[in-house]
Structure 1
Amino acid sequence: MNELSEAGQVQHASSNATPIDFSRNFPPPSPVVQRALTETFADLGRLNIADAIRFPRFMGTVIDREVGAMWLSQRLGQKPSAERVLLTNGSQSAFAMLMARFVKPGGILLTEELTYPAIKPLSSLFAIELRAVSIDREGIDPASLEDACVELGDKARALYCMPTLHNPTSATMSEARRRDIARVARQYNLWLFEDDIYGILPEQAPPPLSLYAPERSWYILGLSKSLAAQLRVAYVVGPNSDISHDVFWPGVRTTNWMVAPLVAEVASNWLANGIGSEILQSVRAETLRRRALAASILPRTHQCPNEFNYHLWIDLPDAWQLDAFVKATLDAGVAVGSGASFAVNNQQGDRKFRIGLGVPPDQDELVRGLRAVASIIDAPADRKSNR
């Protein structure tokens, strides 16, 4: 299930009603966003917004990159040089540019054996082979990564990974694990594509993997999973300003990686005046409330209610097959994410499903959906047809 399919409306199997949507993974609604939009457009109107959005932003204006660098400092420990920061049209566009440049057709991109689903169609678009690396409770297993590098040689050109609040497992690498991954990357000359889109959600998290091998790392932090789904902006930090310009500038004539000027103006305004931090705090608070509700309604899933990620990775009940379970939830008016959509070259997702807690507009709808899923999980064996 990539972001394109996640964005579509899933229809109830037995009617035209739209089901409660747990299949997509967006931040829960923040009451700050509506106020922020109203105030921002009023302010921009007074500042002659027509001039501000008259021309393409390409890699971002100086102001875009400066405020982006300030936001990134929350994760990088210090403010990076604005010359290393690029403004892009969301994380997927950034990864498309990086894959086309560094992996190339015929090359191999290494990734976790369960990964962000959009990486699969992106790889196919560029005729790039994906190869899975084993994961454990901390994410990528360094020994498995090294084995893959030895086996594949120079065809393995980059590693895409999500070290903090991995999607879908929620695993977070320890600092020791990050050092081990960086060591392997250096030894086998791998580029590192770090997707840290959920990394800013926790109040505290280990430093990004990119800091352990900055000379070969591309660090990407988007806003759509932490502030608002409609804010399709991502910041990229490359190894240095020269290579960043070299990689992204040619794409201005061939791709849509550039962010829309109006969206860039809103993003820079929010990060500069503190609204972004206010929204982030409200998203964290609502995430904790929703996780607590999920833990009370789905107690058998053993989900920690005190974590800041809003997706749950749940074991399929023993009596069910995955496709039948997904269909049963849809028949009950709820759409969940099939674990198989995250799997790369393996069956690791065949006994799992994902619930995204953020899409329901209010807690009443969230509770109805969670109770419907719980009723299917707890259904007596004789009711589990099609298993």
Structure 2
Amino acid sequence: MRWIDINPRQWFYRSILESQQVFLDADKERTLFNGHTYNMFEDEKERRVEVIISDEGQKEFEIQGFKPDPRMEVLIYIDGVVVFPSKLEDDYVHLPNPIAGNKEVVIIISGVPRLTKYPCDPNATDCSNGNCREVPLSSGCQPQYPSVNLRQRGSYSFNINYLRNEVAISLGKTLKRVNVELLPGESTQNALERVLGFKQDVFTVINGVLYVSYHLNQVPVRINYNYIDHNDGGIVKYTAGERVIPTSNCVLYNDRFFPDVKLTRAEFLSLIQRMRENFYNRYTDRGYVKVNKSLTQRYIRDRSEIVGRWYDEDVLSSLDEKYLDGCYVFPLYEDDSFNPQACITRAEVIVYLHRFIEWSLERFR
């Protein structure tokens, strides 16, 4: 499961787990829910990856500056097998049993994301009245996918017709290779964002440089790949098990669900839109046909507050949906505004879901 802050002890675990099996595309890469991106952490509770080679019989590992916190997840991988710690204390992580020597131990400390108060009312400047929500913070740095130069970078070669394919393994998982081709004038980072996005456990190699998913920052990877040996008559050779550690000074994590963060009206309608897309793909021969936001026709008084945001296409497409009698499915306020950044109320959630169910039964039964 992709959300590190969701576990079986939580009352909503099963619902979220099952919702993650609802995909919006045939390749099963786009799920119903999107996570919140973040890369800032509370002081002394940063995300960390520690790579240690064990001693014979070792059972505890010293991590200077580590301070346990119930909001923090600590996972230990021993030769790719996950082990949960038996005890956490300042500067130390303990294993349930001693292990053999010369084992690669990867300790991933999730950290505690920093949250900030955010006014539900975009015109509000004072959060003291409690009419605010907490949202995870991003630093605003320029994200770069974790990368590392391969040892044979200058002679690296890839061809699907080669006898042996590229293979990359990290934390006991075989990563999925994603082909990334740069468009004319496109930067490598923009191409990676377009193709990799926030996919987990994927990799690609461009010009002998290995790139991996954001969440694998500073995590060891073992890779097999082909290269041309120019000192041996240009023969294609295969290197196996090269150990590298891709790194980046600025990543965006998207591996938390943040179950206690309140939704805005825009976020909720974006979720509704993803459900609409799923229904069209499942219950019609034609499937969902994306409508350009510029072609949506409904008058929305505060449309300018929607256009240009990450959710603009989702929100405008959903608000443009109609019943068979021509009436719009989702209501606006009396002054025809939508107020996308306001927190959605329980009453509004019920109304939107009820009308969505009515529309679904009418459209797809």
TM range (shorter): under 0.3
Q: Which has the higher helix share?
A: 1
Q: Which has the higher strand share?
A: 2
TM-score (norm 1): 0.24
TM-score (norm 2): 0.25
Larger Rg: 2
